[in-house]
Structure 1
Amino acid sequence: MTNFFKAAAASTLVATLCASTAMADTVAFLMPDQASTRYEEADWPGFQDAMAGLCSDCELIYQNGNADVALQQQQFNSVIAQGASVIVLDPVDSAAAAGLVEIAHSQGVKVIAYDRPIPDKVADFYVSFDNEGIGYAIAQSLVDHLQATGVPDGAGVLQINGSPTDAAAGLIRDGIDRALDASPYVTLSEFDTPDWAPPKAQEWAAGQITRFGGDIMGIVAANDGTGGGAIAALKASGADPLPPVTGNDATIAALQLIIAGDQYNTISKPSQIVAAAAAEVAVQLLKGETPNATTELYNTPSQLFVPAVVTQENIKELIFDAGIQTAEKVCTAEYADACAALGIK
């Protein structure tokens, strides 16, 4: 072999080794949209913090698909090209994500489904809160409240679900259905919110308020964004008092609405919990280890966390005493008096 070919072979070997090293140490974190503030405020920072403690030498890549399936696919292909060997994926479209998993596996890349499951293709692992349990919990909490406050059997409620392309939204809907179907109340109308967009939920809710008026005794909304949209529609209509509205995610805006008495409940599911779990699984996969699953969903080994329902009655204990949020962030001037009345300071 000539010196030229020896040098070329050596160069190729070094490049291959470097690429292999980069691939082994690179983890991508791909989130689905910006309508939910949690991804930038909690999930990504939580994942970064956990990875810093588990694999300080790992290179991390963050991308947000902004509710665009094609954009997320481009991002997915891009991070593989950049050497990611593990991708934590919260899909824009759960069905379309099956193709992404297939692409990744064909190139030896591991995929952790995050928050939203991928029913049509088995990922390497799934980390989330129990989404069906969330739907059941918020709806049952509302049913219990309606019964406790004397709302008669046969009264009507609205149901605002999440995105029809999100399998997690489907699980939340199933849980809501389970609670409402067993309740003495009637679902007046139901809506699947495209892209979880609060303005779309608000627009739909405004139409239902015009249609049903005072017959709406409660609204089961699948997350805080859609719940906030419903509350905005109720306020715009002049409803007083507001019927109880549910939520999910414990966003700052929702916590403020609960403190003010405008939203009935939300779900405390600190994103840092699932982000840290995803980081642990990612590092185990990097090391060639088999992560420990506590259950299985859609044939995928999974770890599902159990969330807690938050209302005015327990918000101080579950959110502020637990250190999930601070009064400094939540109790702004507009909410200071309401916070004080609940002992939040």
Structure 2
Amino acid sequence: MNAMMRRVVIGTTAISMALAVAACGKAGDDKDSDSGSKTSSGGDKSIGLLLPDSVTTRYAKFDKPYFDAKVKELCSDCKLEYANAAGSAATQAQQVSSMITKGVKVIAISAVDSAAIKSSIQAAVDKGIKVVAYDRLAQGPVSAYISFDNEKVGQLQGQSLLDALGAKATPKAKVVMINGLASDPNAGLFKKGAHSVLDGKVDIAYEQAGDWDDKVAAQKMSAAITQLGAKNIAGVYSANDGMAGGIATVLKGAGISKIPLTGQDAELSSIQRILAGTQASTIYKAYKPEADGAAELAVALLEGKSIDSLATTKQTSGSGDSVPSNLLVPVALTKANIEETVVKDKLYTVAEICTGEFAAACKSAGLQ
């Protein structure tokens, strides 16, 4: 082969190798599992956020953006990893493994199943990763926990139901109770708190888990109507707004109106149902303080700082671990305090709430 031919072959080979490397780099770009945007490849300042489901609107709309923004405010060179488990405990376990592989230093996690995730958390801690339990107290050696006083949430729900029943709140008044997902430790606390208020005041005549799923809750509500009779139901306890939406649809279809229905999470649709009179109350848990608090804990743990001022109490998890905790205060939300809660905190604007069919109800409630 002459010198010119050798130069051509070498040049062609070099170009081919360069193209191959570029192609491999493109194919290997790490993508955010939920939004498709780029994430980090790990490193000394990487923080992971794992959220439990995409059915509950708060996680994508509020929790993640608030958490991301606060981390960036506190640590401008921190890298963020994110994934949503879409309600699957197995998927979330895989996501923890992925975070470990990527080299994150702190994981904030809202567990799909607080017990099932224990071994994954242990595996992360064994690799030197700090874990913040976010909203739900996961089992295992977590470093910190932030949530609301969840037994208090249930108490507020129960009292809101009694308040809405008024004089109809008697030991003979039949109430349907649709609780959350049994594997979610918060669901047990909501249930405990609600029972502490309702027991003896009303007759909880039908009680089932709705699994945080509007369709499951709707099925359970239909079964309750069949069992108890439409005319015999005085009120419905729903542990969250997503389920309340399914329940409200069933009640309407069965011709049941003007009975109180509870909820939780202050979703936009629930605010509108409250205005329309098809839901009596919800529980407002301000997402920003919770997400900000989780970010503050994550960054402090990342930087090796004390969290004593950020987590001033202790909670014991299902695995018996005593966890430094920050418990925020929930608020019962009815038609009377929409403006001073979700509107004042800019969770929703009046324009977002008072669309079309809700305009007259908004005017009547004094929302302008």
When normalised by structure 2's length, the TM-score is 0.84
Which residue of structure 2 aligns with residue 35 of structure 1? Answer: 55
1:149: how far off?
A: 4.0
Q: Does 1:103 align with 2:123?
A: yes
| Largest Rg, 1 or 2 | 2
Within the alignment, does 1:209 sit opposite 2:233 as a pair?
no
Asked if structure 1 preserves the Cα contact closer than 8 Å seen for 2:169 and 2:202, the reply is: no
Aligned residue number for residue 277 of structure 1: 293
8 Å contact from structure 1 (residues 268, 307) kept in 2: yes
Query: Which secondary structure does the structure 1 equivalent of 2:55 belong to?
Result: coil
Checking the alignment, whether the CA contact within 8 Å between 1:244 and 1:262 is kept in structure 2 is yes
Shift of 1:339: 1.0
| Per-residue deviation, 1:26 | 0.5
In the other structure, the counterpart of 1:172 is: 190
Match status 1:125 vs 2:144:
yes
State the match for 1:9 in structure 2: none
Q: Report the Cα offset of residue 262 of structure 1.
A: 0.8
Task: Indicate the RMSD between aligned Cα atoms, in angstroms.
Answer: 1.4
**Same amino acid, percent of matched pairs:** 38
- Whether the aligned pair in 1 keeps the contact of 2:162 and 2:169 (CA below 8 Å) is no
| Corresponding residue for residue 83 of structure 2 | 63
Alignment of 1:323 onto 2:336:
no
Q: Is the 8 A contact 2:46 2:81 kept in 1?
A: yes
State the secondary structure of the residue aligned to 2:332: strand
1:250 aligned onto 2:266 = yes
User: Aligned letter for 1:189?
Assistant: Y
Residue 315 of structure 1 deviates from its aligned partner by 1.5
Instruction: Encode CA deviations 1:156-183: one digit per residue, 9 max, x unaligned.
Output: 10111100111111111111111112x4
Change (3 A) 1:84 1:166: same
Per the TM alignment, residue 242 of structure 1 is displaced from its structure 2 partner at its CA by: 3.1
Letter matched to residue 104 of structure 1: A
- Structure 1, unaligned runs of 5 or more: 1-20
Spell out, residue by residue over 1:124-147, the C-alpha distance to the aligned partner (whole angstroms, 9 max, x if none): 00011111110111111211332x
Deviations along 1:217-261, whole A, 9 cap, x unmatched? 11111110111111111011111x231000000001111101111
Q: Give the aligned partner of residue 11 of structure 1.
A: none
Cα deviation for residue 203 of structure 1 reads: 0.9
1:179 aligned counterpart, secondary structure = helix
What is residue 4 of structure 1 aligned with on the other side?
none
Within 5 Å, give how 1:6-85 maps onto structure 2.
22-85=42-105
Q: 1:230 to 1:69 in 2, by over 3 A?
A: same
Give runs of ≥4 in structure 1 deviating > 2 Å.
Answer: 21-24, 148-153, 321-324
Instruction: Specify the SS of the correspondent of 1:88.
Output: strand
The size of the alignment, in residue pairs, is 320
Tell me how far apart the structure 2 counterparts of residues 24 and 307 of structure 1 sit (CA, whole Å): 36
Please, which runs of 5 or more residues in structure 2 have no aligned partner? 1-40, 317-321
Look up the equivalent residue of 1:108 and give its one-letter code: G
Residues 313-333 of structure 1 show CA distances to partners (whole Å, capped at 9, x for unaligned) of: 212222223433211222111
Distance 2:252 2:306 in 1: 51
TM-score by length of 1: 0.90
